Amino acid sequence: MELSRIAVAGSSGLIGGALVRSLVADGHEVVRLVRRAPGSADEVRWDPERRYVDAAGLAGCDAVVNLAGANVGSRRWTDAYKAKLRSGRVQGTAALAEAMASLDEPPRVFVNGSAIGYYGETGERAVDESAPPGEGFLPSLAVEWEGAAAPAQEAGVRTVFPRTGLVVARHGGAWGRLFPLFKAGLGGRLGDGRQYWSFVSLHDEVAAIRHLIDRDDLSGPFNVTAPQPLTNREITEAMGRVLHRPTLFPVPESVLRTVLGELAGDVLGSQRVLPKRLLESGFTFAFPDIEGAIRAAAK
């Protein structure tokens, strides 16, 4: 990849922060989108909920990466929080897409984050990018989220949607909550443990995004998940082996539903998602198996 100027929204998040560190380490110029007055030349003001971005700040960028959005699993899904999840993702994406379309020379690629929530509940059925959206809040959100990128696509910007799975990382995301529990010997399966979890290491998540930026022939949705999804029970056992801790404390479904409300349906739900298009494009996973991903995160 030649040295580039890349704008990143969501640079303070788990994936965005790791992506920025990777790009800067390789000498790329990174422009961070911020929700306050810019404090330096490498910052651009935006307000995703209000559908605003300083388009002039995107001029000269080769790529725009949007990883912004409130954490889906950080709290119960009240109506107000659902509205926040939707507005940040949909309005933010639309603002960036419209800003790029307004430029005389728009960026060559728009990588707009998405999620495997697009597919909804799949049970034991394996799905790839050809599968239709599922039913429920997360699938409808993902469809609207991706659809909001239309102005960039219509302006000729190559647009890619990395549909990310559960990122294995020690800090942040769902796994950031699991590590302390398992290290304390309090980890266990969730519900009956038969639901599939489609995971990806943080290293491979960043590498996949960079792969999608670099390859001019790639567009549309790409599942960013390890090649072999596992059940929650299998992942629980792997966490115990790697961290040398017992996994004796299963969390009953009734408790999860009481604590998490509607979100419990997605924790207990099964998503067996395969990265077909990513593999076909020649991408190689550094940590294709769960134990390797956990060890990498635990360092």
Q: What is the pLDDT along the chain (299 residues), one digit of tens a residue?
A: 677 999 999 999 999 999 999 999 999 999 999 999 999 989 999 999 999 999 999 999 999 999 998 777 666 678 888 888 888 899 999 999 999 999 999 999 999 999 999 999 999 999 999 999 999 999 999 999 999 999 999 999 999 999 999 999 998 877 887 888 888 888 888 888 999 999 999 999 999 999 999 999 999 999 999 999 999 999 999 999 999 999 888 877 665 566 556 555 656 689 999 999 999 999 999 999 999 999 999 98
Separation of alpha carbons 241 and 74, rounded Å: 27
Longest dimension (CA), the chain: 60
* Share in percent of the chain as helix, strand, coil (round to 5): 45, 20, 40
CA–CA distance, 178 with 172 (Å, rounded to integer): 10
**At 168, is the secondary structure helix, strand, or coil?**
strand
The CATH number of residue 279's host domain is 3.40.50.720
For residues 142 and 90, is the Cβ–Cβ distance under 8 A?
Answer: no
DSSP code of residue 93:
H
The total of structural domains in the chain comes to 1
Range of the domain at 224: 5-298
Q: How far apart are the first and last CA of the chain?
A: 28
Q: Report CA 154 to chain centroid distance, whole Å.
A: 24
